[in-house]
Amino acid sequence: MATTDTQNLTKPVAQPKTSKPTLSGRESQFAMTWRRFKQHQLALVSLWIVVAFYLVALLAEFFAPFDPGDYNPRYTYAPPQGIEFVFVEEDGSWTWGPYVNGYGTEIDPEAMRRIFTIDEEVRHPLGFFVESEPYMLLGIIPMSHKLFGTIEPRAPLYVIGADRLGRDQLSRLIHGTRISLSIGLVGVVLSLIFGVIIGGFSGYYGGWFDSAVQRTIEFIRSLPTIPLWLGLAAALPQNWSALQNYFAITVILSLLGWTELARVVRGRFLALRTEDFVTAAQLDGASDYRVIVRHMVPSFMSHIIAATTLAIPGMILAETALSFLGLGLQAPIVSWGTLLQEAQNIRTLASAPWLLAPGVVVVVAILAMNFLGDGLRDAADPYGK
Amino acid sequence: MLGFLVRRLIAMVLTIWAVSFVAFAIIQLPPGDYLTSYVAQLSAAGDRIDPQTIEALRERYGLGDPFIVQYFKWISGIVQGDFGDSFEWSAPVSELIWGRMGNSVLLEGLAVLVMWLVALPIGIYAAVRKYSLGDYLATVGGFIGLAIPNFLFALVLMYLWYVYFGQTLGGLYSPEMANSPWSIAKLLDFLSRAWAPILVLATAGTAQLIRVMRANLLDELSKPYVVTARSKGLPEWRVVLKYPVRVALNPLVSTIGWLLPTLVSSSVVVSAVMNLPTAGPLLLRSLTTQDMYLAGAIILLLGILTILGTLISDLILAWIDPRIRHGGM
Amino acid sequence: MMPQTPMANDKTLLRMEDVSIVFSSPDEADIEAVRQVDFTLTRGKTLALVGESGCGKSVTARTILRLLDKNARIPSGRILFSPGDGETTDIATLNPDSTAMRSIRGNKISMIFQEPMSSLSPVHTIGAQIDEMILLHENLDKKGARARTIELLEQVGIPGARQRADAYPFQLSGGLRQRAMIAMALACKPDLLIADEPTTALDVTTQAQILDLLRSLRDEFGMAMLFITHDLGVVAEIADEVAVMYLGDVVEQGDVFDVFKSPQHPYTRALMSSIPRMTRRADRQRLNPIQGTVPSPKNRPSGCAFTTRCPHAFEPCAAVRPEPTGTSENHWARCHLLTDPQAPRVDGLIQPKVEGGSDAYQGDRT
């Protein structure tokens, strides 16, 4: 309608007036993006969730009560204890403080197998910064305290249950977070390097190189990725170490994952190439390298950050799917995918549904990253799509 | 129109050729050649193979020849319908794959159909009633649909079904129906099992289609021709359905091009989880046992399936969009 | 004081009486885009609605067909439509999607738009788009509708009408598209044709052809026409009457000759002096653009909207809304200069006599 049309037309003109003018183009670009981003409530909350996830991943040894490999056959498929905060004594008075109940066992007469019961009588109080076996935080800082644990050593602590070897699901989940999130990050950084180099040159030089790259990108994007990833992953030698396996999978993921980033980078380059300030820099005799790095990259930094954030969930999902199918990361590496592999058997799952906990974590992480990425993209390009 | 068609066909042939290269590269990837593993496998089983057979096989696959010669032998076999042998099943690959590929196509086709049937009305509703409760729910549902990995969805669905109904979901046909010819009974049997994988496969795509449809339609709803249609005296629902929805369908059709690769990917994973007789589990098994001619054939066929699907969506687009049909664009 | 609007006679087709239009949005205060607009449309005559972009011309026009978005409402005023069957409908009270309103749209009142490309559906042939209109309002089958469509296309001067009916809009030139649009608007022989800047997007020669076509069709069909434009040249060419709008108000209305010869509202005068004139070099004068910019409707003075830019504004202007004042037959303006005895004297305006003498000119005063 006529009035709304004119309002839309005047908006872009009115907007820049409200932003504070700064001398450096790069700073104002970032400042503007951040200011717009902060208006996005959901994206802001998601940012904190993502930060929390990465903090857990970074300090996994400290957050996890146990080592992911610690097992105890006594507690095979022990159900989640849950943490209680208040205990009502027999005289009616309340005792405060977190504790977990102990386990009792019964034999199910029909199925003839052991089932766990929660023993309300036994209480194991929990404490913060409890002493533990010495370990190395981040591989370098010697520590001998965990964030939390039972105050008596050796008491059972399975907040969200145990798996088939009696390993603590929570500790494994925390360690798995480290692997899954870092694979997403490393994979995206690798993709970004491919994407920026290929997309950047493609957009900057144009011509036959650009069309060749474009056809390649279209080709890769027209293929179903999972079968290809599976094919590549299957070719990895069986005798490779866990670390080699980890890096090989990351490389495989980014081999097909760079196209979206390259597309974004190329698009921005094409748009910027004709901008006056780029022409001006070229006329000043700046080298190609300098034009790209000093003049063009800063002006689309926020777009790249947004596109990168949006690419991480894809990487994480791909790793999870591959590992789940048994062709990605291999035990003893713990990742969300390998954890979910434990949940493959539907009968096991029916008796131990807590094995699905990693799935919940995956969904939360992916949602948060998608919201964060959307928020960043909107903030970087408010008039884009 | 003709020019458009010819261009697309040439592009398709080139893409298929490139896919065949990729598939063959994957066949070649594992260390050691196919024959060595085959012989090792047989001798491990205690069989003896006479050297003549080995020589014949070596000749047939061009083992020991350069990559390009081997590729040529492989691809010329495929053109004649010979995909090589699966050593794990001791049978020609072509005997193993067609039935399973048929199930894959059936399942993915139905998933695409369900996506459209569900996403269209919801997308239209969300755009026409922008910022309503329904729109909000569709958006939230869409985000969640996109964030749940399909294999996880399949697991949760199977878990819930098992817990509440005591049955395992899985397979596409009941054992007694599997080999009988198609009939109403078999169709019902199929649908009573196939709904679950179709639901899982369609969810993520539906979420995306709703987003695309909503955005397209919002763009179109503000176009002047909608006002023209209204000024003719048409009832509002006819205005919306006949004009902006019709125009917004065009870009939606071309989304199949990027939806299909994801769908084929998911069907591999979901089939593995739900134990469906499609190409997915066969591919997985052949890869773990390094039965590479079988794996390569499946990867090639899945690639071709995707490319054909994209071609079909291009043709539909040309058919419904006069601007392409009459070479206006 | 002269009557507000010309006396209704049997030729009067539509009367806007004191119509205001308000847009509401969830996060902002309501905006009164149009306030108290009145004008009369007569059969066989063309009224041109003139003003700068954003003054509410299009909003007014679309209100007649109730084509505005859901967030628009008409808090006051009447739109009386008398199509000649003795009944008068108040369009302002109809539900926009009701049968009553829809049987007026396209049938009795139709509309053509500025951008013929984007105003026609890109995926339907123009023939199909015209057929639809005929099938909707007339008792004809598909074949009959198509025959009528081809007849219409010929009438608006589209060569090869039979083949062109099967063409898509993108296959036609801008001029032909606008002709097709006109054919569609005339499909049901409407009583009123609203033309919303129909020539703005066309090149000059095509513009002249379209204006000629519209004029001859109006005479042929005997319909009234509401012609919206910002181009005073076009007004002079096509209109019988002109209504000048500024920021949602009709500030002056009258016979096109009267208004052009002796504009009575300062805004109309400013508009006139901002268009170039064809004169000999020696007689040329510098163009006189209107000072300042159009304020947003939010900051509109409660009195005369033009106060902030008017060179003659005086005491009552900002606060008191001027009433329409007739200055000759069929010509009125809303301006305090025309009624207030205390007003500053302005050359060319028909101002009231000041009591007590002829040299009572006081200039700006309290």
Asked if C177 contacts C117 with a C-beta cutoff of 8 angstroms, the reply is yes
Q: Which chains touch A (3 or more CB pairs under 8 A)?
A: B, C
CB atoms within 10 A of CB B279: 31
Report the gap between the CA of C181 and the closest CA in chain A (Å). Answer: 19
CA distances from B49 to B55, B84, B88, B89, B294 (A): 11, 19, 16, 17, 22
Domain-located, residue A15: no
Mean pLDDT taken over chain A:
79
The residue out of A145, A166, A187 marking a domain boundary is A166
Residue range A296-327, pLDDT digits in tens: 676 677 778 888 888 888 889 888 988 888 88
**A355 falls within a domain:** yes
Q: What residues contact A7, with CB distance under 8 A and at least 6 apart?
A: none
How confident is the model over B284-301, as pLDDT tens digits?
888 888 788 888 899 899
A292 plus A335 within the same structural domain: yes
- B326 to C171: CB separation less than 8 angstroms, yes or no: yes
Q: Are B252 and B209 in contact (CB under 8 A)?
A: yes
Query: Three-state SS string across A265-295, please?
Result: HHHHHHHHHCCHHHHHHHHCCCCHHHHHHHH
CATH number at residue A216: 1.10.3720.10
Q: In terms of CA atoms, which chain B residue is nearest residue C109?
A: B231
Distance from CA of B183 to the nearest CA of A (A): 31
Residues of C in contact with B252 (CB under 8 A): none
A161 and A299 within one domain: no
Q: How far apart are CA B274 and CA A325, in angstroms?
A: 12
Average pLDDT of chain B to the nearest whole number: 84
How is residue C15 written in tokens? 């009367």
Q: Are residues A307 and A212 in the same domain?
A: yes
Q: Rounded to 10 degrees, what is the CA torsion of C277, C283, C286, C289?
A: -40
Question: Per-residue pLDDT tens for A179-236?
Answer: 899 988 898 899 888 888 888 788 777 788 888 888 888 888 888 888 888 888 888 8
Q: Flag the least confident range among A46-55, B78-87, B215-224, C169-178.
A: B78-87
Question: Could you tell me if A307 and A186 lie in one domain?
Answer: yes
Shared domain check, A111 and A53: no
ipTM over 0.95: no
Is A257 part of any domain? yes
Contact flag A6-C54 (C-beta cutoff 8 Å): yes
Name the DSSP letter for residue A355: G
pLDDT in tens, C110-131: 999 888 888 999 889 999 999 9
Q: Domain B102-291+301-318: which topology?
A: MetI-like fold (1.10.3720)
Q: Best interface-test mutation with A: which of C20, C23, C57, C118 has the largest number of A CBs within 10 A?
A: C23
B321 CB neighbours in chain C (<8 A) are 123
Q: In chain B, what residues touch A227 (CB-CB under 8 Å)?
A: 264-265, 268, 283, 298-299, 302-303
Residue A291 has pLDDT above 80, yes or no: no
- With respect to residue A79, please indicate whether it lies within any of the assigned structural domains: yes
In whole angstroms, give the CA distance from residue A245 to residue A375. Answer: 34
Q: How far apart are alpha carbons C187 and C149 in whole angstroms?
A: 7
Closest chain B C-alpha to C181 CA, distance in angstroms? 9
Q: Are residues A305 and A265 in the same domain?
A: yes
Option in B158, B258, B287 nearest A327 (CB): B287
Domain boundary among A166, A191, A225: A166
**What's A296's DSSP letter?**
I
* Domain presence at residue A301: yes
Measure in Å the smallest separation between the Cα of A326 and chain B Cα atoms. 9
Give the H or E element holding residue A118. strand A113-137
Contact A1 C58 (CB under 8 A): yes
- pLDDT confidence of residue C360: 40
- Domain membership of residue A360 (yes or no) is yes
| Structural domain that includes position A373 | 47-58+173-379
Closest residue of chain C to B221, computed from CA coordinates: C69
CB A281 within 8 A of CB A295: yes
- Which of B215, B261, B287 faces A222 most closely, judged by CB atoms? B261
Pair C303, C322: CB distance under 8 Å: yes
Q: Is C296 on the interface with B (CB under 8 A)?
A: no
Q: Quote the minimal CA–CA distance from A30 to chain B in Å.
A: 27
Decide if C257 touches B, using CB distance below 8 A: no
- Is residue C302 within 8 angstroms of chain B, CB to CB? no
Nearest C-alpha neighbor of A227 from the set C41, C90, B267, C284:
B267
Which among A166, A187, A204 is the end of a domain? Answer: A166
The pLDDT value given to residue A7: 38
Which residue among B228, B235, B320 places its CB closest to the CB of C113?
B228
Q: What is the mean pLDDT of residues A155-178?
A: 85
Sequence spans of domains, chain B: 2-93, 102-291+301-318
pLDDT band at B48 (very low <50, low <70, confident <90, very high): low
Number of domains chain A is built from: 2
Asked if C31's CB is within 8 angstroms of A1's CB, the reply is: no
How do residues B129-172 score in pLDDT, each as one tens digit? 888 898 889 888 888 888 888 888 998 898 888 888 887 777 78
Phi (first) and psi of residue B327, to 5 degrees: 65, 25
Same domain, A152 and A251: no
Opening angle at CA C351, ends C349 and C357, nearest 5: 130
Q: Do residues A292 and A220 share a domain?
A: yes
d(CA B239, CA C365): 57
A195 and A51, same structural domain? yes
Asked if residue B87 has pLDDT above 60, the reply is yes
Q: Which helix (H) or strand (E) holds C327?
A: strand C324-328
Give the β-pairing of A94-108 and A84-88: antiparallel
A363 and A215, same domain (yes or no): yes
| H helix count then E strand count, chain A | 14, 4
Low-confidence ranges of chain C (pLDDT < 70): 1-10, 277-278, 284, 354-366
Question: Residue B52 is encoded by which pair of tokens?
Answer: 């003549």
